[in-house]
Amino acid sequence: MRIILARHGQTDSNAANRFQGCLDIPLNAKGLRQARLLAGLLARYQPQKLYTSDLTRSKETAQPAAKLLQLVPVADPVFREYSWGILEGLTWDEARDRYPQHFSGERPPLHLLRVPGQEPREHFHRRVQEGLAMLLAEASLPAVALIGHGHYLNGLLVEFLGLDFNGPWPFSFASAAVTVLEVKKGRRRLLCFNDMCHLGEKNA
């Protein structure tokens, strides 16, 4: 089977480099264009089931593909983005100004960030494991797709490949980019990573 992963399209928070986490931010105009372009590429893989996070930006990104494929997306909170606690809605500079007792200097790698109110790492790991198990349970289908979030998809890929979940994580997902995983005879392979060709020269 193949698992087609795609990050949601751009939001205003993405464009401003704000931590989004579980904030329910819709796509901006560029993100809606990206969703339409993404639909064409997803249709070529012909997934028989389409999963999304339950957050608006993920569901909006899925709509053009769902229409093209004639599928009803399955929105599940297990695929929701990681919660960044008090960082949500802020840029790194704003976080340093507002919470100097917690943040200072250059932003460390995400796996090293310790943020008041963030989702416990162990809980997030369990969510990722549960989400991956849901996708792998569709093994009777040739392909399934998930439209989700950057940090969640990063964790999912790390878990799929059997890498160290405690990081550092070597992947970064662009808006509306596509990654393709394969499970064949018990072997797991990364076939394609962060494909943005469908978005055009300037990322749509």
Structure tokens at 190: 């990364």
Enumerate domains of the chain plus CATH numbers. Answer: 2-199 (3.40.50.1240)
pTM for the predicted model, two decimal places: 0.95
| Mean pLDDT score of the chain | 95
CA distance 4 to 26: 22
Structure tokens at 199: 């978005």
User: pLDDT-derived band of residue 201, with 50, 70 and 90 as boundaries?
Assistant: low
Q: In this predicted model, what pLDDT tens digit does every residue of 120-134 receive, in sequence order? A: 999 999 999 999 999
Whether the CB-CB separation of 134 and 3 falls below 8 Å is answered with no
Whether the CB-CB separation of 19 and 195 falls below 8 Å is answered with no
CA distance 125 to 132: 11
Give the least confident one: 18-27, 86-95, 110-119: 110-119
pLDDT at 51: 98
Whether the CB-CB separation of 173 and 179 falls below 8 Å is answered with yes
Chain length of the chain: 204
Structure tokens at 102: 């917690």
pLDDT at 203: 52
Please compute the mean of the pLDDT values over residues 98-117 and round it to a whole number.
90
User: pLDDT-derived band of residue 109, with 50, 70 and 90 as boundaries?
Assistant: confident
Whether the CB-CB separation of 62 and 34 falls below 8 Å is answered with no
